[in-house]
Amino acid sequence: MKIGVVGLGYVGIVTSAVLANQGHHIIGVDIDQKRVDGLNCSVNPIYEPGLDELLKKNTGRLFFTTDYSFLREVDLAFISVSTPTVNGEIYLDYVFSAAKSLSKVLRKDAVIVMKSTVLPGTSRKVREITGIETVSNPEFLKEGTAIEDSIRPDRVVIGSTSKEAGDLVEEVWKFTNAPILRTTPEEAEMIKYAANSFLAMKVSFINEIANLCEKIPGCDVNNIAKGIGFDKRISPYFLRAGLGWGGSCFPKDTLAIASYARSMGTPLRLVEAAIQVNNERPRKAVGLLKEMMGSLKDRRICVLGVAFKPDTDDTRESVSIKIIRLLKEDGATVFAYDPKAKTDLAQMTSLDECVNMSEGVIIATEWKEFIGIEEKLKGKYVVDGRRILNPSVLGYKFRAIGLGE
Ligand code: UDX
């Protein structure tokens, strides 16, 4: 098929590469000329394991442009532009502007596929505005494992009002062999929010249990997670206690659905509580350090990990960034190290230098590189925010999330 992809962010680039690899011809459109030029020379603006190789391997089937008129011949066009939260509410202008541009160039029998995370009713609205069949096909890929998640998703959700339009989208994803769920567009849109909110809630839940475990000598939240995770109704996934969830999806999606639900007069109280619990995590990390060190004024602190999670250079809504800000507010001098991500907020240096120059260390992201560094940390005040260190090696100058003293 000839496929258009509008919005070359994380989802757009990965979708382009994965579908080109399935033999489709992809025309990717973005307003950012630099990004487009780069992608046409296989210069990929994001770090995602395996993505560079996939883009290079399929250059013959990938073309990137800022000009929508190249989409005249496509059979379907994905919309994968960002849907940020502005003042606590979802901002949909990028989606509608992409839809309007598509309506001017697409064949009347083409199909628009909504990949961006949008509130229930948005895909239907796009169909009305454009006069073109629009299918909701939410994306569930995770950064760091995006390609694997796209090729082998747990499920594919296709929400359409037209059976034929839904069938065309089904055709595209049938190679994944994943269960395919056909729904209304509104249900598909709601599934995405419900999934992200539920996962965010699960993590906030285990983080609250972690807070309680810290008060109970002999109690380790990791063992609690293991113990409850064996129960199939709970499952062992998304039960890692830590400094909370960040990234480009959970924070914005939980806020958007909570605000939408309130506007409908049916607040999602559990989701709101999950957000509140999450908002307290950065202060929690700094608090643990202060319990050991006292005032942080003029003290040198190193934050290990800047990305919102390992295997990505993405710092959007990263808990680490919030921790750095809090440390600076307390008057600390902050150093940071991350294998991929960068920040201007702290002095960034090598792992060894960062640790050696500091009195206190906070592990904010669980990069593999930080596993087994206990020897380097000896003598420092350490907060293990992601539970990757062996407490028995570090002794009394050590606090870990969810570990009772
Ligand atoms: C998420 C969803 O998983 C994905 O389905 C959706 O399409 C986009 O949002 P992503 O943001 O890439 O993906 O990261 P994910 O691996 O889900 O982690 C989100 C956050 O939760 C990270 O900050 C991570 O550190 C945190 N997390 C996750 C935990 O603290 N504990 C866990 O057990 C799992």
Domain containing 61 — which CATH number? 3.40.50.720
Q: What is the pLDDT of residue 88?
A: 77
* Residue finishing a domain among 131, 147, 163: 147
Is 115 domain-assigned? yes
**Amino acid identity of 114?**
M
Are residue 17 and residue 112 in the same domain, yes or no?
A: yes
Q: Is 77 one of the annotated binding-site residues?
A: no
The answer to whether 247 and 320 are in contact (CB under 8 A) is no
152 belongs to a structural domain: no
Residue recorded with tokens 């600390």: 332
Residue 364: Cβ-neighbour burial (10 angstroms; 0-12, 13-18, 19+): buried
Whether residue 195 contacts residue 140, with contact meaning beta carbons closer than 8 Å, is answered with yes
Quote the ligand 1 centre to 317 CA distance (angstroms): 12
Q: Is residue 64 part of a domain?
A: yes
Look at residue 392 in the predicted model and tell me its pLDDT: 83
Ligand 1 near 249 CB (within 6 A): yes
Domain boundary among 118, 147, 176: 147
How far apart are alpha carbons 193 and 136 in whole angstroms? 13
Is the CB–ligand 1 distance for residue 250 below 6 Å? Answer: yes
316 lines ligand 1 (CB under 6 A): no
CB pairs under 8 A, 24+ apart, for 100-103? Answer: 100/129, 100/130, 101/6, 101/68, 102/4, 102/6, 102/68, 102/71, 102/77, 102/130, 102/132, 103/129, 103/130, 103/131, 103/132
Separation of CA 309 and ligand 1 centre (Å): 8
Q: Is 130 in the same domain as 207?
A: no
Q: Name the 3-class secondary structure at 65.
A: strand
Q: Look over the chain and give the mean of its residue pLDDT values, rounded to a whole number.
A: 96
Q: State residue 42's pLDDT score.
A: 87
Question: Is residue 174 in a domain?
Answer: no
Same domain, 207 and 130: no
The answer to whether 351 touches 335, Cβ cutoff 8 Å, is no
| 65 within a domain of the structure (yes/no) | yes
Residues 246 and 372 in one domain: yes
Let me know whether 116 and 241 are in one domain: no
Give a yes or no: residue 186 inside a domain. no
- The encoded tokens of residue 90 equal 């979802």
Domain that includes residue 284, residue range: 196-400
CA dihedral 332, 338, 340, 344 (to 10 degrees): 10
Task: Tell me, in angstroms, the distance from the centre of ligand 1 to residue 229's CA.
Answer: 17
346: tokens are: 């702290």
Helix axes 185-213, 221-229, angle to 10 degrees: 140
Q: How far is CA 63 from the centre of its chain?
A: 26
Q: Is residue 336 part of a domain?
A: yes
- Indicate if 247 and 393 belong to the same structural domain: yes
Q: For residue 217, give every residue at least 6 positions away whose Cβ sits within 8 Å of its Cβ, in sequence order, or none.
A: 404, 405
What is residue 226's predicted lDDT score, i.e. its pLDDT?
A: 98
Same domain, 109 and 200: no
Is there a single domain that holds both residue 263 and residue 345?
yes
Residues 133 and 228 in one domain: no
What total of structural domains would you count in the chain? 2
pLDDT at 133: 98
- 381 in the same domain as 235: yes
Is 249 designated active site?
yes
| 297 shares a domain with 211 | yes
Find all residues with CB under 8 Å of 189, minimum gap 6, and list them. Answer: 114, 117, 118, 119, 120, 121, 122, 123, 136, 138, 159
Distance of CA 107 to CAs 54, 166, 359, Å?
Answer: 29, 17, 63
Close Cβ partners of 352 (under 8 Å, ≥ 6 residues apart): 376
Q: Is 145 helix (H, G, I), strand (E, B) or coil?
A: coil
66, part of any domain: yes
Pair (251, 382) in one structural domain: yes
Please list the pLDDT of the chain residue by residue as tens digits (405 residues).
999 999 999 999 999 999 999 999 999 999 999 999 999 998 999 989 999 999 999 999 999 999 999 999 999 999 999 999 888 788 999 999 999 999 999 999 999 999 999 999 999 999 999 999 999 999 999 999 999 999 999 999 999 999 999 999 999 999 999 999 999 999 999 999 999 999 999 999 999 999 999 999 999 999 999 999 999 999 999 999 999 999 999 999 999 999 999 999 999 999 999 999 999 999 999 999 999 999 999 999 999 999 999 999 999 999 999 999 999 999 999 999 999 999 999 999 999 999 999 999 999 999 999 999 999 999 999 999 999 999 888 777 999 999 998
pTM confidence score: 0.95
